[in-house]
Structure 1
Amino acid sequence: MEYIIGVDIGTTSTKAIAFDLNGRIVDKANVEYSILNTRPSWSEQRPDEIFDAVMNSIKTVVDKNKEKNNRLLAVSFSSAMHSTMAVDDKGEPLTNLIIWADTRSKEYAQRLKETRQGHEIYMKTGTPIHPMAPLSKLAWLRDNMKEVYQKAYKYISIKEYVFYRLFGQYIVDYSIASATGLFNIYAFKWEQDALDVAGISCDRLSAPVPTTYTLKGIKREYAEYLGIDVNTPFIAGASDGCLANLGTNAIKPGDAAVTIGTSGAIRVISDSPKSDPQERIFSYILTKDRYVLGGPINNGGIVFRWFRDNFAADEVQKAKQEGMDAYDILTQEAQKIPAGSDGLIFLPYLLGERAPHWDADARGVFFGINIKHTRGHFIRALLEGVIYAIYDVGKALEETAGDINKIYVTGGFVRSPLWVQILSDVFGRKVLQAESYESSCLGAAILGMKALGIIDGLDEVERFVPVSKEYLPDKKNNAIYKEIFEMYARLYNLLKGEFSNAANLQDRLFLD
C-alpha cells in the first residue's frame, strides 16, 4: 500500500500521521515538548528539541509501515505560525525559538499599530500588528539583543529550521511567510516597508516558495536514520490554520472551520485576500488562488488545562486510578449546569488575546459570581468563555467575508460533545465533525497529493473527509447566549484600561 505522511509541528507536540491515498489514517506518532516561560511575557522553545520530535515521529511511522511492506510516497508539512529564531552562517541557533504566544514586543507592536504606516503594512501583509508576529519580534531583537542581531545570518521559523537541517536550504512557504507581517500577500514577495520597520533586508530571510514546493535529496545521515530513500519528496506545505480548513473540507463560501486545541481559531476560505480596515482579522495564503481569512484566539484548550492542573488534583488522581480522562470527569460536572452558567461569565484571556482585540495585556476574569455558584458553574463558564471568544471573531469575520452558514470543527475540543454543542448553540449554526480531527495533518497530506499529481485540485478534498457527527443549535440556549455575549463584549471594553494596569503590575511584581 502507498501512503503519505502528514507532519504537523505544533505548539506542544509534533504529530506524524500516515494516510493512505483515500485519506484514511494508517498509523500515527506524537512527540511532546515543553514551552519555556522564563518571564510572564516570554514563550520560547528549544529548536533542537522540536527537530528531534519531528525526526522521531516520522521514524516511528515509517518503522510501523515497513513492518506492513507499505511504500512511502512523500512527507508533507504543517506548522504553527509566527515563530522566529536567529541562526548564524552555519545554521546554528543563536536564540531559542520565539513562538506565537510570546508578547515581549508588545510596546513595539502598539506603537506601530497606532501609526498610518502600521495600518498600511497590515493592509498589504494581511497580518494584524501584534507581538505574535515576527515583524515586531525582530524589532525587539534589534534593540534588546544587539549582539545576537549583529551575528544573525538568517531569521527563520521552526519549519524553515527543519528544512535547513534536512536539505541545507533556506526556504519558506507562502503560507508561513504570509503570517510574519513581513510578506506582501498581493505581490508574493517580502514587503519593503515592513522590512524597514524590522531593520533587516530580504537576504536575512528565506526564499519564499509555493506551498506545493517539493525538495528531494535529504541528507544521507537523516535518510538512514529515518529509514527512507534519499530521493523521497518532502513538500513544504503550509501553516496549521490554513491546512485545518483544507483538512475539514471547509473550502466553500459560507463554510467556516473552528479549531480549538491549545489556542483556537475560526477561518473561512476566499479566492482573494480581504484585509479588514478595522484590522480585526488575518488574511493568509493557502495557494495562489485560495486565501484563508479569520482570526486566532490565544486561549483555547490551555484554559481548561490551567483549570485542571490547578483546581482538580483529586480528579486527576481519580482518572489515573480508573483509567479515565480527568477532562471527562470535569465536563460531566459542567454538564449538570444550565446554558449561561446561571449568569457567571468568564473572559478567558489568560495569555492576553489576539483576534479581534489584538490586546496582549488582556487578562482573565470571572464576572458575576454569587453565593449559589458551584465549581460546576466555573467549569461550564470556562467552556462558554472560550466559545464567546471564538464568536467574537466570527462576528468580525462575517462583516468582512460574508455570512457563515455551517461550521466544521477540529482540534482536541471535539472530544467533548458538550463543548461542541455549546459552539453550535452560541453561533446558532449547524456544526459538522469529521471522522478524523487530525485536520492539519490531513490537509498537509492532501496538499502533498496535489504536489505529486495524485489529485488534480483541492476541491477533491470532500471525498477524504466524511462527516461522523452533526450538532444542531438549541434555540432556547441560543437566545440565552446572545444576551450573555452582549454583556461579555461590554465587559472587555469596560476593563480594557485596567487590563493594561494589571499587566504592568504583574510584570513589575514578577521582576521584583
Structure 2
Amino acid sequence: MNYYIGVDVGTTSTKAVLYDEKATVLKQFSKGYSLYRDVSGMAEQDPKAIITAVEEVIRQAANSTDLTTGQVLAVSFSSANQSVIMLDKDFQPLSRVITWADTRAQEVANELKNSPTGQHIYAKTGTPIHPMSPLTKIMWLNKTHPESIAQTAYFADIKSYLFYHFFNTFKVDISIASCTGMMNVNTCDWDEEALSLAKVSRSQLPEIVNGTTQEIGLVPSVQKKIGLPVNTPFVYGAFDGALSNLGVGAIKQNTVAITIGTSAGVRVVTDHPVIDPQQRLFCYAVDKGLWVVGGPLNNGGDVYQWAVEHLVDASAVKNENVDAFTLANHVIEGVPAGAHGLLFHPFLGGERAPLWNANARGSFFGLSQIHTRADMLRSVMEGICMNIATVFQAVRDLVGEPASVTATGGFARAEVWRQMLADVLNCPVNIPNSFESGCLGAITMAMKSLGLIDNYEIITKFIGSVSSYQPHQQNVKIYQNYLPLFQQVEGLLTPAYSTIAKLQQQSIH
C-alpha cells in the first residue's frame, strides 16, 4: 500500500491525516499548543512548539504505515495564513509567531485603510487592509519594536519557517504570499509599493513558489525525528481556507464553500483575480490559474459556545442527561424562525468580513419581556448565519449566482444548523460526510505535484456521500424580512463601536 500524509498547521493544534492512494482516511493524529494572549490584542504562538507538534504528528503517521511493501508518496501542507515571525541572519526566531488573530496593528490598519494609498494597495494585492494582514503587522512592528526590527534579517510565516527548518530553503507558496498584503495579484510577485510601506526588501522575504512545488532531502536531524525516508517529497500546499474549498469539491465558480468552525469563512474559486470595489472581500491566489475570492469571519462556533455556556440551564443538562450543545440544539428547534423578533449581532471578537472592524461588538436588538433564553439562543445561531449571509451576498454580487453551497465545520454535525443555513441563504446546502477537507485538499495538490492528476476535478470522487438541504420557503420569507434589518442596525451601531471598545479597555485596566 502507498500513502499520503496531509498536515494541517492550525492556530491551537497541528493535525496529520494518513490517507491511502484512493484518499481514504486511515488514521488521524493531533498535537495541541498554546495561543498566547499576554496583553490585549495579542495572539501569538511559540514557533518551536509548532515545529515539535508537526514533527510528532508526522512521526505518528509514518509509524502507522508499512514501508516494507509501500511508500509515503508525499507529505503536503495546509496552514493558517497571515502569520509573521521575525528571524535573525541565521534564521533563528527573534519573536513568537504573530498570528492572523492578533489585532495590535489596529491603529496602523485604520490609518492606512482610510487613505488613498490603502485603497490603491488593496486594489493591487486583493488583501483587505486589516490588523490580520502581515503588511500592517510589519508596519506596526516598525513603529513599536524598532530594536527588534533592526536585528531582523528575514520575515517568515509559519510554513516558510517550517520548510526552512526541514530543508534549509527559504520559500513560500503563492497562496500564503498572496495573503500577506505584499504580493501583487496581477504579477504574482512581491509588490514594490507594499514593500516600501512595510520598509522591507524582497531579499528579506521568501521566494514565491507554486503550491505544487516539492522539497526533497530532509535535514538529518529532522529525518531522524519523523522517520520518513530522506527522499520523501514534501509539497508546500496552500493556506487552510483555499484547501477547504478544494477539499469539498468547491472548485467551480457556481459553488460557494462555507466553513463554520471556531471562526467562519465564505469562499468561491475563480480562474482570474476578482477585486471588490467596496473592499469587503479578499482575492488570493491558490495555484496557477486558480484564485479564491471571499471573506473570513471572526465569529462562528465560538460565539455559539459562549451562548450555550451562558444561556443553557445547567440543571436541565443534568436532568436530561445530554451535553449542553445537544440540549441547546433541541431547544432551538422548538423556537420559530426569527426568534419572535429578536436579532443578534455576533461580533464578540471584532469582525473581519464584511466590516473589517476590530472594534465591532456583539448586541441583541429587539429584546423585550416576551423573550426567553430559548429565543436568545436561536437568535445567536441566526445572527451567525445572517452575518455569513452578508458575506455570501457580497460574493454573489461579484462572481454571480451560485448553484449551491457546500458547507463544512463543526456546526455541520447538527441538523438545525444545516437547515437554518439553507433557509437564511435561500440556497441549497450540501454537507459532505467527510470533515477533513483541508488535509484532503492538501494531498490532492500533492497528486498534482507528482503528475498523477492534471486538475482538481478528481476530488469529487474522494468526497464520498453528501447530505443535501433545500431551503424551506416559509422560513426564507421570514429571513428575507430580517436580513435587511440586521444590516441596517449593524450600520447604525458601527459609529459607536470604537467608543464602546475604548470604554471596555478602560474598565479592564
**TM-score category, normalised to shorter length:** over 0.9
Q: Which amino acid aligns with 1:230?
A: V
Q: Which amino acid aligns with 2:361?
A: R
Looking at structure 2, the residues matched to 486 and 73 of structure 1 have their Cα atoms a distance apart, in angstroms, of 51
Cα distance per residue 1:284-320 (max 9 Å; x no partner): 111120100111111111212333455558389859x
Give TM-score, length-normalised by structure 2: 0.96
Q: Percent identity?
A: 39
User: What RMSD over aligned residues (CA atoms) do the two structures have, in Å?
Assistant: 1.9
Q: Which amino acid aligns with 2:141?
A: L
Match runs of 1:52-451 below 5 Å = 52-66=52-66, 71-310=71-310, 314=314, 318=318, 325-451=323-449
Looking at structure 2, the residues matched to 69 and 312 of structure 1 have their Cα atoms a distance apart, in angstroms, of 53
Q: Which amino acid aligns with 1:351?
A: G
Looking at structure 1, the residues matched to 410 and 70 of structure 2 have their Cα atoms a distance apart, in angstroms, of 29
1:215 deviation in Å? 0.2
1:173 deviation in Å? 0.3
1:169 deviation in Å? 1.5
Looking at structure 2, the residues matched to 84 and 288 of structure 1 have their Cα atoms a distance apart, in angstroms, of 25
1:113 deviation in Å? 1.0
Structure 2 alignment gaps of length 5 or more: none
- The 1:60/1:318 distance shift into structure 2, 3 A limit, reads farther
Contact 1:243 1:444 in 2 (8 A): yes
Looking at structure 2, the residues matched to 192 and 51 of structure 1 have their Cα atoms a distance apart, in angstroms, of 31
Match runs of 1:15-54 below 5 Å = 15-54=15-54
1:500 deviation in Å? 0.8
Question: Could you say what secondary structure the match of 1:341 adopts?
Answer: coil
Cα distance per residue 1:431-479 (max 9 Å; x no partner): 1111211111100010011101122221222211233211111001111
Question: Could you say what secondary structure the match of 1:177 adopts?
Answer: helix
1:464 maps to what in 2?
462
Structure 1 alignment gaps of length 5 or more: none
1:191 deviation in Å? 0.6
Q: Which amino acid aligns with 1:290?
A: L
1:281 deviation in Å? 0.7
Cα distance per residue 1:49-104 (max 9 Å; x no partner): 22222122222222222499653111000011111121112222211211111111
Contact 1:125 1:183 in 2 (8 A): yes
Larger CA deviation: 352-361 vs 65-74: 65-74
Looking at structure 2, the residues matched to 311 and 221 of structure 1 have their Cα atoms a distance apart, in angstroms, of 51
Looking at structure 2, the residues matched to 471 and 292 of structure 1 have their Cα atoms a distance apart, in angstroms, of 25
Contact 2:311 2:373 in 1 (8 A): no
Looking at structure 2, the residues matched to 3 and 386 of structure 1 have their Cα atoms a distance apart, in angstroms, of 38
Give TM-score, length-normalised by structure 1: 0.96
Looking at structure 2, the residues matched to 335 and 2 of structure 1 have their Cα atoms a distance apart, in angstroms, of 46
- The 1:315/1:99 distance shift into structure 2, 3 A limit, reads farther
1:335 deviation in Å? 1.9
Q: Which amino acid aligns with 1:338?
A: P
Q: Which amino acid aligns with 2:216?
A: K
1:389 deviation in Å? 1.1
Looking at structure 2, the residues matched to 46 and 327 of structure 1 have their Cα atoms a distance apart, in angstroms, of 32
1:326 deviation in Å? 3.5
- The 1:232/1:315 distance shift into structure 2, 3 A limit, reads farther
- The 1:145/1:315 distance shift into structure 2, 3 A limit, reads farther
Cα distance per residue 1:473-498 (max 9 Å; x no partner): 10011111111111110111101111
Cα distance per residue 1:333-371 (max 9 Å; x no partner): 222211111122111111111111111110111222222
2:474 maps to what in 1?
476
- The 1:145/1:476 distance shift into structure 2, 3 A limit, reads same
1:372 deviation in Å? 2.7
Question: Could you say what secondary structure the match of 2:340 adopts?
Answer: helix
Aligned length: 509
